[in-house]
Structure 1
Amino acid sequence: MAIVETSVMIKLALFTLAMFSLPILTYFLTVDRFFDGNASYAAGLAAVVANIVLFSYIIVAALEDPIPEEKPKEE
């Protein structure tokens, strides 16, 4: 059974929170302020933000140090 490090779980929780909140916040903050009520542009920008969060998570996960494998005990 593999033990997951605490730092990995914290990163996963933070990126999950970001994936949920940032696109929604982006949509509602930009639909009236920057796009004059045009929901299509605001939704497109929210999709771009969601992709940025996703690719950021992939990059962070790829740059993590691999967990060293346990060597079998020699008798």
Structure 2
Amino acid sequence: MGRGRVQLQRIENKINRQVTFSKRRIGLLKKAHEISVLCEAEVGLIIFSPKGKLFEYATDASYVILSLVMIILFFLF
């Protein structure tokens, strides 16, 4: 029997929210790496923390990074 569904709602406690963000960020970066290795996919991932700190992952291809920059610029301007 699997886990139940998680109710998605904002975590009110600031410390718990930061801990959850850190744990889920690590998991998301790991999944991005896994899909790039298993499927030989070009992957680019950008995460901004609530405080604006940037976390990113990209496969070796430089065009993935360029594409991500273009997407960011598109949404910012």
Largest Rg, 1 or 2: 1
TM range (shorter): 0.3 to 0.5
Superposition TM-score, scaled by structure 1 size: 0.38
Structure number with higher strand proportion: 2
Of structures 1 and 2, the one scoring higher in RCO (CA 8 A, sep 6+) is 1
Structure number with higher helix proportion: 1
